[in-house]
Amino acid sequence: MLTGQEYKDSLKDGRKVYFAGRQIEDFATEPALGVPMQVAADGYDKHYSAEPGAVNPLIDGPRSPEELRDKIPVLMEMDLLLNVTYQSLMTLLVAAPRIEGVAPQFVERIHAYVADAKARDIRITECITDSKGNRSKHPADQDDPDSYVRVVDRGPDGVVIRGAKMHISAAALGHDLMVMPTKNMKPGEEDWAICAAVPVNAPGVHITNTTYHPYGRDERDHPTSARESVPDSMCIFDDVFVPNERIFLDGQAAQAAVFAHSLGLWERLGGTAFMVEQADELVGLAQLIAEANGTAKISHIREKIDEMMIHATLLRAGLEAALLHAHETPDGYFYPDDMYTNVTKFQGAAQFSKMVRHLHEIAGGAVLTAPSMSDFDNETLRPYLEKYMSTGDGVSGEYRTKLFHAIRDTTADAYGGWHHVTNIQSGGGLFAQRLVTRRHYDMTRAKSLALKAAGLAGD
């Protein structure tokens, strides 16, 4: 296993990483990259063991419904980079038996790669969404065939790929990029049916980065995003060679979507678990700011908080149902039920904006206009700020101002905007959850009940 320092040293491997148009040589000098790098390093140290042959136990797949349930709080404690590593490895393990009947040659490679990744204690990020070009056209029909990552050359030792993957969280901070098809492929699109693990420092890989990290601003005004920022990337593959042992699908168009479906399941589980936690957090912020404002007993305020509590409880119930109806793979790994996972993810994403609206109505305009925490450092200003931001009854001006900053940071600033989009898009958009629900919903039973109600059951 690696220590945190060994992990940070491992990133100095010649990778081509860019931020604000500049190639970054030392992540520690760039807060937008240095802060999440340190979070990942702390995760390494937290789970480090010097025992020979030790591996991180958090990335072991659940072997029973109980282990799957116990995995939820573990997922919530993981740093994002470790979380997506776990999702990447579980995606491979779930996909392996699904492609074995058609492409058994890749199954042995998958298991060998998973074992090696655990032994080397590397971090892996998921690369699934292509640039896509014209969304109305299939990969083979695009004006630019590189709109979807594809194989441009095949040789006895491996393949060469070209294209770009987008929306990749923490790509610059990992060791491998797990490239996989983003959708179903049809006959004639075999070159786009490629799944492979690509080293971040492989020649031809370039990684751009955007972030909601509040660099250059007082971190006290951003109590969450200053600590939990993660860069999102475009990963460019400019004729990158991938050796055979790192290729897990190549040309089997009918199996292209297997990896996307397997990944979506684990991504939606993590996203759903986070939404449950986030929904409770929003309730807590709403209750605290209502108490600080002196409005907690006003009927319409209480009704809004009640609705937020009902929403949070429904999400938790959906997560519980997904775990209760867990399924087992042929290899003995357990994964959450597809329909309950997707329904809960859909509900959480679709209602998130409404819950945030309730919070903003409860809190008031100071969510955006409260004085900065640096204003409290000013000896002249502080007495005024304490006087006018306080609401009495032991509610200090500084305390109430910190609540406003927490609400703004998590719901109404760069980090809040990031959440508004990612809650919908991560693990596939709302349409993807509708498709999975339609596929698994018991429509036959619903129609039978309807026929019975209409007196047509005998027909």
pLDDT in tens, the chain (459 residues): 999 999 999 999 999 999 999 999 999 999 999 999 999 999 999 989 999 989 988 888 888 999 888 888 888 888 889 999 999 998 998 899 989 999 999 999 999 999 999 999 999 999 999 999 999 999 999 999 999 999 999 999 999 999 999 999 999 999 999 999 998 899 999 999 999 999 999 999 999 999 999 988 899 999 998 888 899 999 999 999 999 999 999 999 999 999 988 887 677 677 788 899 999 999 999 999 999 999 999 999 999 999 999 999 999 999 999 999 998 888 788 888 989 998 999 999 999 999 999 999 999 999 999 999 999 999 999 999 999 999 998 999 999 999 999 999 999 999 999 889 988 887 778 888 898 899 999 999 999 999 999 999 876
CB 96 within 8 A of CB 110: yes
Q: Taking the mean position of all CA atoms in its chain, how far away is CA 174?
A: 15
What amino acid is encoded at 64 in this protein?
S
* pLDDT on residue 59: 82
pTM for the full model? 0.89
Here the tokens at position 349 are 């994403």
* pLDDT on residue 74: 84
**Residue located via tokens 């050796």:** 243
* pLDDT on residue 379: 97
**Residue located via tokens 């591996």:** 55
Which residues does residue 18 pair with via DSSP β-bridges, in sequence order?
23
* pLDDT on residue 312: 97
For the chain, how far is it from start to end, CA to CA, in angstroms?
Answer: 66
**For residue 382, which of 393, 396, 368 has the smallest C-alpha distance?**
396
Here the tokens at position 193 are 């049916």
CB 82 within 8 A of CB 45: no
Rounded to whole angstroms, how far apart are CA atoms 66 and 78?
A: 19
Domains and CATH numbers, the chain: 4-255 (2.40.110.10), 258-448 (1.20.140.10)
Query: What strand order describes the sheet that includes 124-127?
Result: 124-127, 176-179, 194-199, 247-250
* pLDDT on residue 459: 64
* pLDDT on residue 20: 92
Q: Taking the mean position of all CA atoms in its chain, how far away is CA 393?
A: 41
* pLDDT on residue 184: 87
Distant-in-sequence, close-in-space partners of 455: CB < 8 Å, separation ≥ 6: none
